[in-house]
Amino acid sequence: MKKVYANATEALDGLLFDGMFIAAGGFGLCGIPELLLQAIKEAGTKDLTFASNNAGVDDFGIGILLQTRQVKKMISSYVGENAEFMRQYLSGELELEFNPQGTLAERMRAGGAGIPGFYTKTGVGTVIAEGKELKEFNGETYVLERGIFADLAIVKAWKADATGNLVFRKTARNFNPPAAMCGKVCVVEVEEIVPTGSLDPDHIHLPGIYVHRIIQGQHEKRIEQRTVRQRETA
């Protein structure tokens, strides 16, 4: 089975359709599938629902799809750093489903494991639990959260081999493994594709069984928010 494609456009060919549900890896601008997001923008696919920790910034990450009004709904944990996101949400142009970060990660992981739902204490007694089933276990109240089953998963890894085994780079691993697991099809962009068999099996973070298509590319690795100390003068 061929998994390596020449570029993001080719890797997404035949997968995109209006109204689809996409799970995207990344945290802030760390480990985001920037090349695949750009290809989705260029494809013009619209009415998208994204499950992603956040929406990037105004001109990078999922933010570029907000600019072009291609996103209908976000399932997210943190939505700061993006003025256009705020504007669209407050004006009623964008649907938003808030999830605590751990809950969102577990919803993705559960979907990838074929688990339709699970109970958690996180969010009980808050707006997160509104309209959801509550159940008591050992005298404690839990809220039912549903697993995420996405049409497509797009993730960013550091290295891959041709069979799709993935290695992530430090904190860039973040939401990428659970996002990769919960998509019917998973497309991955990496910095380097290495020969099959060259990765130490004990160092593989996500096995290739979850990965369907891979591209190698150059990445910007932008810093989301730079804070520097003012230079001291004598």
CATH of the domain at 57: 3.40.1080.10
The CA distances from residue 147 to 14, 177, 224, in Å, are 25, 15, 29
SS3 189: strand
Q: What is the pLDDT of residue 225?
A: 77
Residue 181, domain member (yes or no): yes
Residue 141's H or E segment, with its range, is strand 140-146
Residue 226, domain member (yes or no): no
Largest Cα separation within the chain, whole Å, is: 65
Residue 232, domain member (yes or no): no
- Kindly state the average pLDDT of the residues 6-25: 98
Residue 114, domain member (yes or no): yes
What's the pLDDT tens digit per position in 35-70? 999 999 999 999 999 999 999 998 999 999 999 999
The overall average pLDDT reported for the chain is 95
Q: How far apart are CA 231 and CA 234, in angstroms?
A: 10
Residue 232 has pLDDT above 80, yes or no: no
Residue numbers of the domain that contains 204: 8-216
Q: What is the pLDDT of residue 79?
A: 83
Cβ partners under 8 Å of residue 227, min gap 6: none
Residue 100 has pLDDT above 90, yes or no: yes
Residue 2, domain member (yes or no): no
- The pTM of the full predicted model, rounded to 2 decimals, is 0.94
Q: What is the pLDDT of residue 231?
A: 80
Counting the structural domains of the chain, the total is 1
Residue 15 has pLDDT above 70, yes or no: yes
Residue 121, domain member (yes or no): yes
Residue 201, domain member (yes or no): yes
What's the pLDDT tens digit per position in 187-225? 999 999 999 999 999 999 999 999 999 999 999 877 777
Residue 165 has pLDDT above 90, yes or no: yes
Q: What is the pLDDT of residue 17?
A: 98
SS3 153: strand
pLDDT band at 234 (very low <50, low <70, confident <90, very high): low
Pairing of strands 166-167, 150-161: antiparallel
Residue 49, domain member (yes or no): yes
What's the pLDDT tens digit per position in 117-150? 999 999 999 999 999 999 999 999 999 999 999 9
Q: For 173, which DSSP code? A: G
